Structure 1
């Protein structure tokens, strides 16, 4: 790719990297002495900035500890795409918490790969592109905790304008924009930034780190992926790490695959932080060049944004990175077209994404409270119900359910100003977005709406799409049929930290 075309987008949609003016770290020298100018290891450790390791380790592009001095060079070597330009702002979810959510995509595009490379990496030669790995990476408002949610690529969803399909097909239908639009409509979570990397970039990053350590309880043998690992701990190179992260030759298929991807992410972060990759200028430059060469991000993730996030996130460590995955109800859903897809557990998934929208810890247990989670409970939310439909008694019935769940009712239910409201609304005044999101998470398909005239209460306005109220804790306590497993933790996703996921 010629530098003459740097910074421009080709007609076919390819993004050409603009070579930035700042020099890489190992080429910076003092104008007086001529010696290398390298910040101390302590400074580099302290000043954590976003290093986009890969779509599987971007983990928030966060905990790699390079110095701020390299940020401009880093930023200038990243490909950028106008991901959000074609999305109607009024149709997108709002972000009222100050948190940031990244959509991280591992693309399976083979364009530009030789047949020899395709064979070596066992990725096949399928034309076109789909999202091979999908993660939501949520950075909380305080910038001291990261939540990574793995999304099965075969999740059966409604792709806007295209109909039902597996979620990874959204990329094939409309690239990054369609992927973001699908995820936002599916979860109600606003996507603030987008990060994408391809196969080659992932392999190069692992190799630049000198390999990573992975471990497994049972052996994996997948001839198609050229992967044969016995139970135990293994040091793997980039190609082996890619096969380890992509194989589905295990009993739980996509779910096991997400767990392995998260293990590789943690291993990459651990290796970057523990070795001299970040303190040796030459190794750091090699690592960054490998990380950035096949990376695409949204246009707003510029040098200023990287600097700001790096400053805010200094000191983040592996124990502050939580992993989870979308709760699943059916791993073998036969579609109308005759293939197998994955269905999520809607009530549990709603709760998960309600927590993310409200910037709350996602484990839902005593650990979240011990770590300072101060999300609202029923007794903290004053509520009033209005019936916006022609169905008599709907408001009074919801009144009773809210009261039994422990909510404070500010007055009895009344009819709304109209009786033909299509969608259920959870209305709230300024400063009560978290409480409204909490209530909205218990009412399927409801929408949180800010109303500047409200003060001190949340109003639930029932629309024709209203079906049920999922009282907090009922499925877990009663083991109801609505919960696919009936287990105590069925409505709370299993979580682990990056520290838990490293083998040693």
Structure 2
């Protein structure tokens, strides 16, 4: 009997030791992550121009089980009312393990709730990200849970921190007009400033269509070139570096969870779609402005097919 009691006490002490070690490991990991996050924030917080106000956003979960995030690149500075320079919806589907990206052409002529018809990018100026969410819902029946308004300078800092040697990109032509840098054609490694110039260039025959194609190309390349083991440990700092440049209703925990899940995969494929899809639009001029007239039903069907598969 005495021997049994002794064995039970030994097992109890053993479990207490295991639990203590686990607690210390978790506490240490959380402490390190928080330290890295704050270090990243302090590195860039004095350089951001993004608006800090909290926007109303009545987001809803996607009907197909994914989490859709409205990503907006704004062309404003400070308090200026802005139109959306870049409009994307990123989807993360935890059960399928898929990552998808839809780019919406900013000159599409659509119905904006309470404001008649206009280019889709004007919805941000009229009513912030919530009105843009409503606009996407009304015209394309897409549900969006979160929003992120991104200052492009945050992209520069994120790339430079994550890729000290630059991101490898095949530049298809010489580019320099209105992007602040000069790019020569060929396969090369671009730092944050030059990569931003690459995704913003549109002074050629294809204009915004080429720019959207390059944006999606860069998102795919950045995703595929991440080294998971090295980058997962840097993830808290990377989020800290970009945080001062982002206005979002996502909390840091959600961002870390999605980022860690993505980086831990061997195949970090991002599927992409451009709206309007080929064969569903035409160039029009309305009240003197160049716009894209679109077949809403055809594009709505294309979006739902893309998100549901």
- Alpha-carbon distance in structure 2 between the residues aligned to 1:198 and 1:350: 29
Change (3 A) 1:295 1:96: same
- Alpha-carbon distance in structure 2 between the residues aligned to 1:72 and 1:315: 22
User: Contact 2:84 / 2:124 at 8 angstroms: preserved in 1?
Assistant: yes
Question: What is the CA-CA distance between 1:275 and the residue it aligns to?
Answer: 8.4
Question: What is the CA-CA distance between 1:143 and the residue it aligns to?
Answer: 4.2
Q: How does 1:237-316 map to 2 (within 5 A)?
A: 237-273=191-227, 276-279=230-233, 286-298=237-249, 301-303=250-252, 305-306=254-255, 309=258, 315-316=264-265
- What is the aligned partner in structure 2 of residue 321 from structure 1? 270
Change (3 A) 1:128 1:306: closer
Question: What is the CA-CA distance between 1:269 and the residue it aligns to?
Answer: 2.6
- Alpha-carbon distance in structure 1 between the residues aligned to 2:68 and 2:299: 17
Q: How does 1:441-460 map to 2 (within 5 A)?
A: none
Q: Of 182, 195, 215, which aligns to 2:148?
A: 195
Give the 3-state SS of the residue equivalent to 1:220 in structure 2: coil
Change (3 A) 1:270 1:313: closer
Question: What is the CA-CA distance between 1:317 and the residue it aligns to?
Answer: 4.6
- Alpha-carbon distance in structure 2 between the residues aligned to 1:238 and 1:311: 22
Q: Of 9, 13, 33, which aligns to 1:70?
A: 33
Give the 3-state SS of the residue equivalent to 2:227 in structure 1: helix
Establish whether residue 185 from structure 1 lines up as the match of residue 138 from structure 2.
yes
Q: Of 105, 116, 119, which aligns to 1:166?
A: 119
Question: What is the CA-CA distance between 1:201 and the residue it aligns to?
Answer: 1.2
Structure 2 residue runs of 5 or longer lacking an equivalent are 1-23, 46-51
Change (3 A) 1:107 1:143: farther
Runs of 4+ that moved beyond 4 A:
71-80, 306-314
User: Contact 1:71 / 1:306 at 8 angstroms: preserved in 2?
Assistant: no
What is the CA deviation profile of residues 394-441 of structure 1, one whole-angstrom value per residue up to 9, with x for unaligned ones?
xxxxxxxxxxxxxxxxxxxxxxxxxxxxxxxxxxxxxxxxxxxxxxxx
- What is the aligned partner in structure 2 of residue 10 from structure 1? none
- Alpha-carbon distance in structure 2 between the residues aligned to 1:305 and 1:285: 12
Q: Of 227, 234, 240, which aligns to 2:188?
A: 234
Q: Of 158, 173, 178, which aligns to 1:205?
A: 158
Change (3 A) 1:239 1:346: same
Establish whether residue 334 from structure 1 lines up as the match of residue 285 from structure 2.
yes
- Alpha-carbon distance in structure 2 between the residues aligned to 1:158 and 1:324: 21
Of Structure 1 and Structure 2, which has the larger fraction of its residues in helix?
A: 2
Question: What is the CA-CA distance between 1:262 and the residue it aligns to?
Answer: 1.2
What is the CA deviation profile of residues 13-59 of structure 1, one whole-angstrom value per residue up to 9, with x for unaligned ones?
xxxxxxxxxxxxxxxxxxx9xxxx56xxxxxxxxxxxxxxxxxxxxx
Give the structure-2-normalised TM-score. 0.74
User: Contact 2:99 / 2:269 at 8 angstroms: preserved in 1?
Assistant: yes
Question: What is the CA-CA distance between 1:187 and the residue it aligns to?
Answer: 1.1
- Alpha-carbon distance in structure 1 between the residues aligned to 2:268 and 2:298: 25
- Alpha-carbon distance in structure 2 between the residues aligned to 1:244 and 1:334: 28
- Alpha-carbon distance in structure 2 between the residues aligned to 1:340 and 1:144: 39
Change (3 A) 1:258 1:214: same
Change (3 A) 1:241 1:305: closer
User: Contact 1:74 / 1:292 at 8 angstroms: preserved in 2?
Assistant: no
Q: Of 153, 170, 173, which aligns to 1:215?
A: 170
- Alpha-carbon distance in structure 1 between the residues aligned to 2:296 and 2:218: 28
- Alpha-carbon distance in structure 2 between the residues aligned to 1:237 and 1:251: 26
Change (3 A) 1:235 1:303: closer
User: Contact 1:215 / 1:231 at 8 angstroms: preserved in 2?
Assistant: yes
- What is the aligned partner in structure 1 of residue 301 from structure 2? 351
User: Contact 2:110 / 2:118 at 8 angstroms: preserved in 1?
Assistant: yes
What is the CA deviation profile of residues 339-376 of structure 1, one whole-angstrom value per residue up to 9, with x for unaligned ones?
211233434312212225xx422xxxxxxxxxxxxxxx
Give the 3-state SS of the residue equivalent to 2:271 in structure 1: strand
**Greater RCO structure (CA 8 Å; 6+ sep):** 2
Structure 1 residue runs of 5 or longer lacking an equivalent are 1-31, 39-66, 88-92, 113-126, 362-504
Question: What is the CA-CA distance between 1:276 and the residue it aligns to?
Answer: 3.8
- What is the aligned partner in structure 2 of residue 45 from structure 1? none
- What is the aligned partner in structure 1 of residue 91 from structure 2? 138
